[in-house]
Structures are given as structure tokens and as C-alpha cells.
């Protein structure tokens, strides 16, 4: 039977490990501060931000949310960022993506002070990732590495295939795996013979945003599969097809009007993989945990390294 990699359990371990560090910060005269900019009214973004604020409150990290309207301009968001850059009690600034279409997201991310970039997406911090020098790492990739290490999944010398080349997940997780001495292939929509490439992977990471796209043909028997995708299925027929008419899943669909599925076929991966992450309950909780870690690290640099 395949091992289910429980992201909730690893999240709890990471957050518990944060508490002594927070006690040390408190003794040094302050708590970390995280500010989140949530522009517009994207329902998924609102859920993500609510969960991040909740995690801060549970740990005792100061948090605040700035919520400009959907009509906000690039200049107005830049003004918010610059104001947060100047506030010493704010250690981390997170701009929730996606921003409204009229806002230049690249300009906004570039405006965040690198030392307050708790998403790890500023070019300076991505350069530190490239060079494998200390700095904030993008939260989802860092969470994936924590998951693999804490479950003692081999990385050194393994063939790793990353499906997806986004700046937030695909590229940085490939670099992190390279730093751990994996042999890494990055695939995307134009990769030739994608099933055959994926089927050679000891470690298969899916992050392309296509529901249940990676089926049995993509999965080497005995592989470890990490599914970053979160896709909402709103068609009962599609739910029945993906879950092979599972009464439990169909009942859940009828109750909620939708079900969540990752980028990997949920039944195929359970049958072929040696270990895999379920959706939901795998990578998402780790992303928030690593955001807390990055915020604490920023506060440690401010409050402890200057003492």
C-alpha cells in the first residue's frame, strides 16, 4: 500500500519548531510582523489570506491585511508597499497573487524590500536561491523539500521530473532539488513524449494546473509523487469519470457542488506510487508553514542579528 505523505502533520511539526524561536524573539523585545496586501475580491485568494492570518494568530505573529478595491491602480499598490517597507515593525510583506489585471504585478513584487520578501520571489532572493546562499525560499517549494526530508524520501542521486515551469513553484523547486543532488528534468506544455519522460522519474512533482492530467502512464511504479495542483471540479460527470463512480466522492459532490482534485489522477497514483501527497491536505498547509518560517527568519535578522 502506498504511503500517504500527510502535509498537515508536517505543517504541525514545522510550526511547533517555530515556538522556541518566537520565545527568543519576544525576549529580545518584539514579535514578527506580517502584512498581506489582498487587492480585489478573488474568492480563492480570500481563503488563502484568511488561512495565513489564522496561522499568524495561532503562533502570536502580528499580522495585518490591507485590502484595496478591485479598481486599485499600480501606483496605489506601490504606495502601500513603500509604506510597509518603511515600517520597522513589519518584517514580512506578502502581495497575494493574482492581482487585478490592470496592476503590474512585476513592478509590485520588485518594489518589496528584499529583506521583507517572505515569498522569496524578489530577484535578489531568487539569485540567492540560484547560488544556494542563505535567504528566504519560495514557500511552496521549500515546503515540498521539508515534506520529502521529514519523511526520509531519498533525493540524492534520484531522477526528479518537475511538470510545470512557473516562477513560484516549478523553477524554484527544480533548483532546490538540484542543490540536494537530484538529477532534474523540467517539463512543460511543449515537452515531447511527456508520459515517457515522467515515467522515468523516481520523484515526480506536478504543478501545471490541469485536473487529474497525470494518469497511470506518467507514473513509474514505486515513484514518489508530489501533487501541487488544486483544481475544483464542478461537473458531476467529470467527478464520476475521475473517481470511477465512487459513491463517497459523488455524495461529496452532491453536498458541496464541487470536489477538489490535483494535477495527478488520484486513483492511479494510489495504485502505482510508493508514496504520494493527497489533494487536499498535502502541499497547501506546508506553504503557509514556510511563510511563517520566512517571517520569523526576517524578524530574527532585525531583532537578533543587530543586537
Q: Tell me which residues are annotated as active site.
A: 52, 96, 119
Cα 292 to chain centroid distance, Å, stands at 12
CB atoms within 10 A of CB 22: 18
Q: Cell numbers 506536478 correspond to what residue?
A: 206
Region class of 154: left (phi > 0), else alpha (psi between -120 and 50), else beta: beta
Residue ranges of alpha helices (H) inside 60-202 are 74-86, 105-111, 123-131, 139-150, 170-179, 194-198
**Can you tell me the distance from the alpha carbon of 90 to that of 72, in angstroms, rounded to the nearest whole number?**
22
Contact 279, 269 (CB under 8 A): no
Burial class (CB in 10 A: 0-12, 13-18, 19+), 15: middle
Asked if the peptide bond before residue 104 counts as cis, ω within 30 degrees of 0, the response is: no
**Can you tell me the distance from the alpha carbon of 248 to that of 257, in angstroms, rounded to the nearest whole number?**
14
How many CA atoms lie less than 13 Å away from 258 in the CB half-sphere? 8
Give the closest residue to 84 by CA, choosing from 62, 116, 46. 116
**Can you tell me the distance from the alpha carbon of 24 to that of 35, in angstroms, rounded to the nearest whole number?**
21
Cα 50 to chain centroid distance, Å, stands at 15
Contact 134, 151 (CB under 8 A): no
Amino acid at each position: 500500500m502506498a504511503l500517504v505523505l500527510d502535509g498537515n502533520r508536517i505543517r504541525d511539526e514545522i510550526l511547533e519548531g517555530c515556538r522556541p524561536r518566537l520565545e527568543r524573539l519576544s525576549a529580545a523585545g518584539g514579535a514578527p510582523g506580517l502584512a498581506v496586501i489582498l487587492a480585489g475580491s478573488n474568492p480563492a485568494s480570500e481563503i488563502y489570506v484568511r488561512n495565513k492570518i489564522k496561522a499568524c494568530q495561532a503562533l502570536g505573529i502580528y499580522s495585518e491585511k490591507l485590502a484595496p478595491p478591485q479598481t486599485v491602480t499600480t501606483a496605489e499598490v506601490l504606495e502601500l508597499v513603500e509604506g510597509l517597507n518603511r515600517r520597522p515593525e513589519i518584517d514580512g510583506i506578502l502581495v497575494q497573487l493574482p492581482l487585478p489585471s490592470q496592476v503590474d504585478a512585476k513592478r509590485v513584487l520588485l518594489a518589496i524590500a528584499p529583506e521583507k520578501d517572505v515569498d522569496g520571489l524578489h530577484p535578489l532572493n531568487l539569485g540567492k536561491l540560484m547560488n544556494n546562499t542563505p535567504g528566504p525560499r519560495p514557500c511552496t517549494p521549500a515546503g515540498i523539500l521539508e515534506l520529502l526530508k521529514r519523511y526520509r524520501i531519498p533525493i540524492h542521486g534520484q531522477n526528479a521530473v518537475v511538470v510545470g515551469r512557473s516562477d513560484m513553484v516549478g523553477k524554484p523547486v527544480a533548483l532546490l532539488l538540484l542543490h540536494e543532488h537530484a538529477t532534474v528534468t523540467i517539463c512543460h506544455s511543449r515537452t515531447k513524449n511527456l508520459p515517457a519522460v515522467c515515467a522515468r522519474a523516481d520523484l515526480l512533482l506536478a504543478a501545471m494546473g490541469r485536473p487529474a492530467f497525470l494518469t497511470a502512464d506518467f507514473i513509474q511504479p514505486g515513484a514518489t509523487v508530489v501533487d501541487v495542483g488544486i483544481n475544483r471540479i464542478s461537473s458531476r460527470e467529470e467527478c464520476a469519470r475521475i473517481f470511477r463512480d465512487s459513491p463517497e466522492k459523488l455524495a461529496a459532490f452532491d453536498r458541496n457542488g464541487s470536489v477538489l482534485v490535483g494535477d495527478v489522477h488520484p486513483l492511479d497514483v494510489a495504485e502505482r506510487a510508493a508514496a504520494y501527497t493527497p489533494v487536499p491536505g498535502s502541499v497547501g498547509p506546508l506553504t503557509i508553514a514556510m511563510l511563517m518560517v520566512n517571517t520569523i527568519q526576517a524578524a530574527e535578522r532585525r531583532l537578533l542579528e543587530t543586537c
